[in-house]
Structure 1
């Protein structure tokens, strides 16, 4: 199998050369904790009679002169792991799996650290230091390179551990808290500290075999997160972050400090809906169907979707509407479509919903839950769909005294993840935020929704006949009458009518702006006139910023991609899904349509209508709250005066 051009191979012989050292570390190392405080006494459980003790391992990193006067603590992970089964003298399959995964992960980490040292000249500096020939002018460089090598080694160890054990994860979860013993003196000491803390967590939480894998994975994920934060400000990491490394035997790609979780889909227990079971909501349904097929164009080798490169991919969207208008049904339809397409193509599909259960009173835990949700969905090895239902309850509005600390933590994570400095849109996943009350969502977070799906439910007489007929089921003999079922739900016809309705604005405030600008400058048929209209909107609503313009232009690019990938491309993967990236890109470009003035006006009106609608509702809610406060004050005064009288 050929290696993609942007990946470097980490050769198997380089990894296996470290097996002996890795096994020795698992058998026993000495480590004196420097940062973390011991949770338990570190002596490993007693071995069964007749089994001898193993030797301990001390750091022999070349070129380093280190000394510790404190009492070292022995760490014997093999004993700890084999003792997590209430004294069974035989090693179980689960224990063997964990030990093999740890040995493999340590070996990969050591090989990566060795490669980094060779690439950066650290090997020569270590040799000079060992010989006492390291000049003072190279001391700072030496220290920085050692710290960088430590971070690389720790990250790869944690990353590989989580990846290798992902297939053995269960529904059991363990909360271990933050990792503390992250050392950057040198790679060997860093690994010793990590193994010492892992031993502490196993002794604390893995009191039965079913908690063994969850504890190791929880530790690995916490270590990855802590090291990634350290790496944001650490120098000399470009040789590691600037390349992708491939471990072919494990199908593992190491891309800097990004977690490389195994391509494992999630079990979906929801009841899927077919498109014809979504009545009304024509634009929202059409965009959801298009987006479901767009996701399938993702190229797993290139780790990129042609739609994300060409423009028109929807990374985040907001679905809003009154209660009972069909938001849940829309989610069920979209998840069902993606699931069916992925089953045909053999792609792993991961669906996850961020619910109110993610809000936690423990400081930082809500943010941790939200970040885990984001990371699971954006995993470049799967097709992902993440939903945040009732986002107005889940994410706090900044400045609102009713918002809890946990809600504000979730808001901060979502804002950074959806449009932060480090946000990378590969085109393998999408996030849908849904709300009955979008006016209660933080303005900045709401504007991070690149597309707006107005979920307005059934509107016409035909819609109401269709939904009644659908929900009545088959257990009756009432005649349908002179009516063709679901004819009104014919998607292209309905969508065209819905888009045409946005040739003029709907909300009163926006209508006034549109009419004034049109009266002053005439028909909106040039970029300059359209820009004048946008400025008029901003003058009427100061929240209409540059981010709003970006969302509008993204929506226009989506309209340029105003086509559905043919159904046969989804049914027969050989026709499109299994083509190489460049071929898929060319096939999509052939279907792209030119952008028209009507498209631009319609998308400006659609987006601005939604903002005016949110603003009006938000202002009205604030006014009603003030009226209630004034009323309570007057009633309090009346009762107070009556009491004094």
Structure 2
């Protein structure tokens, strides 16, 4: 077993010694709900027959606001056993849930014990029991107790969801928001959680399948609630900055991060080989590089050297006319990644955010989009997420035709791709594709770190190649004077494509370039390049600091303008299975220096795309306005004719 520097082994004996306490909690305890309300209220007290007696109301300060609910016995073992009705025997799924809950409780208590020892809470607790706790440390003691409660409750929920993960099914249960989150101390936090879990099981678990789904859903909701509560809590650094490894369960606890077993998704798409993607040279080249970049991800460190060194593409946008090969590009990239992952034994997960995610219920679209993001971000897998036809999925703010569901998806994607809490580990990438990128919200579009112009076949050779490819082999038509797929040779085609961006392609940008060149001469210094960027901003106010970041990221990608050898993918021990620092050093050895030409080409490539989008957007708006004016003129004419 190899552990990173900040990971501690949680020994089996440290977990097992808490089994008795865990079983005692599952067997039964009394709990008075403070926040949540029980499903069935306690029976009302019978009248004494004296109708004039007034109800006693305490005058003691503070007691008037205290909960008057009666303590209720929580017997989870009995509740779980009753999930299948009247069967007197415990079923295997029920036993699995019981065992995993016991295990999760024991793990949580063991982590809580470690936290108490590391923070001095254990000493303060002993002093408090002895009545010798100094007055000036009471606040610290209370805060540490609250922090321990949050840590223990989250570990319990995390371990429960993790351990029950392999036993889940396609059945899902919505338990709603967890309410009984108590942070006075760890034991009370667990009692509150188990009480509410008991309520949810009684409400939703009508059979064994729904029992597992209910407990798992509750654990996930509890994790989410605890994580939100922990944002403003003190003394949590010893928990968030450390991690614990439970080897027997293959579980690693990392603060408030949810643990998950890496599972591959089953792909049913038709994969394409690189030579089957005709044209689209830069897009194809970068997609092939990105597929190999993802494979450098280190599952132990949970970081990709490319993400640390710069040059990793977390988000990209592919745009082009209908039929130019965007779907083919997705099929090629997904096929490459899956092949590499199968060879290395890594779990691979591909997901596409489709129009089915848009829901008429308020908040449901955002929930669907967030689930998509979280599935791809899972640090236990290599992930590839696509959003095809993003202009139909994500609404443009200010557009009256955008539905509430579309705007919810836009908000989630913006926050996930470049929000305050976005963490780029380098295990996944998101691709947005559109035939009409001008209809995508400006802020969301600028969150695409790289731009792939999917322009399809361009040259005569491209058209011959695509005809040859699509015709198949069931014919006797001679090929003629042509070398099949020679034009699709990556290195030659990409070099020519990059070289073509030494000057802008779009007329609006070309005018800016020529004006700056006339004023200050050749762009060969940082100052002159900055002047060019300012000129672009004056021509298009949407060219902001985020655009500069995207350009510099693209330049760093060019500095990594090398393809990891195929042999490294075919024989994982040569690269993929090496320690993180060794992989990082191997990548650094291949890195190329950044040149002025690279920077100019990437500025032009990015700015060309923005000017292209802006021109299309303006043209669409003008055409719409012209049609509206025409309709108004016709309506006016008919109105006047009707009056006559």
The aligned residue for residue 102 of structure 1 is 101
| Matching of residues 176-575 of structure 1 within 5 Å | 176-575=175-574
Native 8 Å contact 1:40 1:203 kept in 2 = no
Q: Which runs of 5+ in 2 are unaligned?
A: 44-65
Decide whether aligned partners of structure 1 residues 475 and 643 sit closer, same or farther in structure 2, where only a CA change above 3 A counts: same
The aligned residue for residue 610 of structure 2 is 611
Decide whether aligned partners of structure 1 residues 152 and 620 sit closer, same or farther in structure 2, where only a CA change above 3 A counts: same
How far apart are the structure 2 equivalents of 1:281 and 1:232?
45
1:307 positional shift: 1.1
Decide whether aligned partners of structure 1 residues 633 and 29 sit closer, same or farther in structure 2, where only a CA change above 3 A counts: farther
Which deviates the most, 216-225 or 601-610?
216-225
Secondary structure at the residue paired with 2:252? Answer: strand
Secondary structure at the residue paired with 1:84? Answer: helix
Decide whether aligned partners of structure 1 residues 411 and 482 sit closer, same or farther in structure 2, where only a CA change above 3 A counts: same
Native 8 Å contact 1:374 1:417 kept in 2 = yes
Q: Is the aligned partner of 1:31 residue 2:1?
A: no
How far apart are the structure 2 equivalents of 1:286 and 1:377?
23
Which deviates the most, 270-279 or 174-183?
174-183
Which deviates the most, 634-643 or 30-39?
634-643
Which deviates the most, 173-182 or 124-133?
124-133
How far apart are the structure 1 equivalents of 2:333 and 2:383?
12
Q: Is the aligned partner of 1:16 residue 2:23?
A: no
The aligned residue for residue 81 of structure 2 is 82
Native 8 Å contact 1:42 1:74 kept in 2 = no
Secondary structure at the residue paired with 1:273? Answer: coil
Native 8 Å contact 2:34 2:67 kept in 1 = no
The aligned residue for residue 62 of structure 1 is none
Decide whether aligned partners of structure 1 residues 434 and 618 sit closer, same or farther in structure 2, where only a CA change above 3 A counts: same
Partner deviation per Cα, 1:386-441 (whole Å, 9 max, x = no partner)? 11112112222222222222222222222222112222211111111111111111
How far apart are the structure 2 equivalents of 1:624 and 1:136?
75
How far apart are the structure 2 equivalents of 1:507 and 1:200?
63
Partner deviation per Cα, 1:528-568 (whole Å, 9 max, x = no partner)? 11111111101111111111111111101111111111111
How far apart are the structure 2 equivalents of 1:601 and 1:195?
61
How far apart are the structure 2 equivalents of 1:25 and 1:635?
78
1:636 positional shift: 4.2
Native 8 Å contact 1:321 1:455 kept in 2 = yes
Which deviates the most, 491-500 or 214-223?
214-223
How far apart are the structure 1 equivalents of 2:125 and 2:632?
75
Partner deviation per Cα, 1:347-379 (whole Å, 9 max, x = no partner)? 111111222222223332222222222222122
Partner deviation per Cα, 1:247-291 (whole Å, 9 max, x = no partner)? 222221212111111122222222211111111111111000000
1:41 positional shift: 7.5
How far apart are the structure 1 equivalents of 2:148 and 2:413?
31
1:453 positional shift: 0.9
1:643 positional shift: 5.1
1:114 positional shift: 2.0
User: Number of paired residues?
Assistant: 622
1:20 positional shift: 1.2
Secondary structure at the residue paired with 2:84? Answer: coil
The aligned residue for residue 598 of structure 1 is 597
Which deviates the most, 289-298 or 253-262?
253-262
1:80 positional shift: 2.5
Native 8 Å contact 2:42 2:70 kept in 1 = no
Runs of 4+ more than 6 Å apart: none
Secondary structure at the residue paired with 1:83? Answer: helix
Native 8 Å contact 2:33 2:69 kept in 1 = no
Q: Is the aligned partner of 1:3 residue 2:3?
A: yes
Secondary structure at the residue paired with 1:212? Answer: helix
Decide whether aligned partners of structure 1 residues 190 and 362 sit closer, same or farther in structure 2, where only a CA change above 3 A counts: farther
Secondary structure at the residue paired with 2:432? Answer: strand
Native 8 Å contact 2:363 2:408 kept in 1 = yes
Secondary structure at the residue paired with 1:147? Answer: helix
Native 8 Å contact 1:306 1:581 kept in 2 = yes
How far apart are the structure 2 equivalents of 1:30 and 1:110?
19
1:135 positional shift: 4.9
How far apart are the structure 1 equivalents of 2:230 and 2:352?
30
How far apart are the structure 2 equivalents of 1:32 and 1:642?
78
How far apart are the structure 2 equivalents of 1:251 and 1:540?
56
Decide whether aligned partners of structure 1 residues 154 and 625 sit closer, same or farther in structure 2, where only a CA change above 3 A counts: farther
How far apart are the structure 2 equivalents of 1:73 and 1:253?
35
Secondary structure at the residue paired with 1:253? Answer: strand
Decide whether aligned partners of structure 1 residues 200 and 533 sit closer, same or farther in structure 2, where only a CA change above 3 A counts: same
How far apart are the structure 2 equivalents of 1:290 and 1:112?
41
How far apart are the structure 1 equivalents of 2:608 and 2:254?
41
Partner deviation per Cα, 1:168-211 (whole Å, 9 max, x = no partner)? 23222222222222221221121112112222222222222222
How far apart are the structure 2 equivalents of 1:441 and 1:92?
52
1:133 positional shift: 4.4
How far apart are the structure 1 equivalents of 2:508 and 2:267?
43
Decide whether aligned partners of structure 1 residues 174 and 70 sit closer, same or farther in structure 2, where only a CA change above 3 A counts: closer
Q: Which runs of 5+ in 1 are unaligned?
A: 44-66
Partner deviation per Cα, 1:591-613 (whole Å, 9 max, x = no partner)? 11111111111111100001111
Decide whether aligned partners of structure 1 residues 25 and 636 sit closer, same or farther in structure 2, where only a CA change above 3 A counts: farther
The aligned residue for residue 120 of structure 1 is 119
Decide whether aligned partners of structure 1 residues 70 and 329 sit closer, same or farther in structure 2, where only a CA change above 3 A counts: same
1:69 positional shift: 5.2
Under a length normalisation based on structure 2, what TM-score does the superposition of the two structures give? Answer: 0.92
